[in-house]
Amino acid sequence: MDMKQYIEEAEAALLHTYNRYQIVWDKGDGMYMYDIEGKKYLDFVSGIAVFALGYNNKAYNDALKAQIDKVIHTSNYYYNIPAIEAAKKIKKVSGMDRVFFTNSGAEAIEGALKAARKYAFNRDGVADHEIIAMNHSFHGRTMGALSVTGNPHYREAFEPLIGNVKFADYNDFDSVKAAVTDKTCAIIFETVQGEGGIHPVDETFLKQVRALCDEKDILLILDEIQCGMGRTGYMYAWQRYGVKPDILTSAKALGCGVPVGAFMLTERVAANSLTSGDHGTTYGGNPLACAAICNVMDQFEELNILENVNEVGEYLYKKLDEVVAKYDYLKEHRGIGLLQGIECNGPVSEIINKAMEKGLLLINAGMNVIRFIPPLIVSKQNVDDMIDILVEAMDSLENK
């Protein structure tokens, strides 16, 4: 079948919840993806910040093949060695004390919210506690994650949601403080807002919220599903600021393609929240997913991934600044490491589509922001190639 036929079959069989680009993928290799017609694309999307090690990484593939030959799944009624090793490794790089493995980022958020409410229930003996989340945030599509996602359009068709959630303004401490009551049990936000337009947290704001949480025994939940796992030049973005959360969520690059997530807790929160029977998962922490985590953690160290993110991220920032200065349509550039965005004076879909025609994969963050989230193995030459295509796409649109 050709591309058109595959797409027609997909549209006849799949629930239409995505407006997909008209591409059917065949394979990936390094920084590149190839469609079924053999066309090559430079990838600055990485499966939405998932493929940190690039495509067709031999060591990663071999680790998964070896685990498949042993055992893929056992259930959480038993221990398995990959889960034990993965938990040790993630504790080391995250600075947290306890780990619960999930199948996705949204499930990690669900667990984090449950842990926060159980902590407050154990403390107060009541179950009417409130959570403060941020406007323009994105935490996932499940009912709990949706409840703390700060975009009314995503929520309105599915209400009532979990309830007792208030929204404050990101990087506005007075807004957060005004929302706090005696019932507040947790404050949740992304250390770098992703879908909301690539907005890094302000260090003063983060420290003020941390101090407020300490004063009132409120739990700070940091969502690092997209901005964690090295993307900002630190294994987790909170480490840039030295402000440790009580609960931390992770996914995406944690498994580099195998569906896996995790929420992590400090020992204090773990000892006073979820216990036997409070939470569970059939697949979370299975040997295959945890073998992927172990290999990813090892390769991050062996390949000096954080060093590359800092070096190439700085170069990408410089090159994107130059592009923004060149075009009136481009309004602002922001981000950290290899999580960057350009805000435009209008929709970005035309730019993304034109770049894709020319062999470059980009995605948006909202209607007017182009997001740059390449695999963390990206080189300066890859950045130069990306910039060349982006400029060519911009020029062709300006001149049409």
Q: What is the pLDDT of residues 61-74, one digit of tens each?
A: 999 999 999 999 99
Of 114-118, 149-153, 292-296, 317-321, the one with minimum mean pLDDT is: 149-153
Segment 232-248 mean pLDDT: 98
Q: Is the pLDDT of residue 205 over 90?
A: yes
What is the pTM (predicted TM-score) of this model?
Answer: 0.97
Segment 165-190 mean pLDDT: 98
From the number of C-beta atoms within 10 Å of its C-beta (0-12, 13-18, 19+), residue 3 rates as: middle
Name the phi and psi angles at 34, rounded to 5: -130, 130
Q: Is the pLDDT of residue 303 over 80?
A: yes
The reported pLDDT for the residue numbered 400 is 61
Percent of the chain at pLDDT exceeding 90: 98
Per-residue confidence band for 338, with pLDDT thresholds at 50, 70 and 90: very high
Segment 345-369 mean pLDDT: 96
Indicate the domain borders of the chain: 3-58+304-398, 71-302
Residue in 228, 237, 314, 247 with CA at minimum distance from that of residue 111: 247
Calpha distance 185→177 (Å, rounded): 13
Residue in 32, 28, 25 with CA at minimum distance from that of residue 379: 32
Calpha distance 263→99 (Å, rounded): 6
Per-residue confidence band for 397, with pLDDT thresholds at 50, 70 and 90: confident
Segment 85-93 mean pLDDT: 98
Q: Is the pLDDT of residue 23 over 90?
A: yes
Calpha distance 64→87 (Å, rounded): 17
CATH topology assigned to domain 71-302: Aspartate Aminotransferase; domain 2 (3.40.640)
Parallel/antiparallel/unpaired status of strands 261-265 and 369-372 = unpaired
Tokens of 51: 């493929």
- Three-class DSSP category at 323: helix
Task: Give the CATH H-level superfamily of domain 3-58+304-398.
Answer: Aspartate Aminotransferase, domain 1 (3.90.1150.10)
Calpha distance 106→143 (Å, rounded): 9
Q: Is the pLDDT of residue 51 over 80?
A: yes
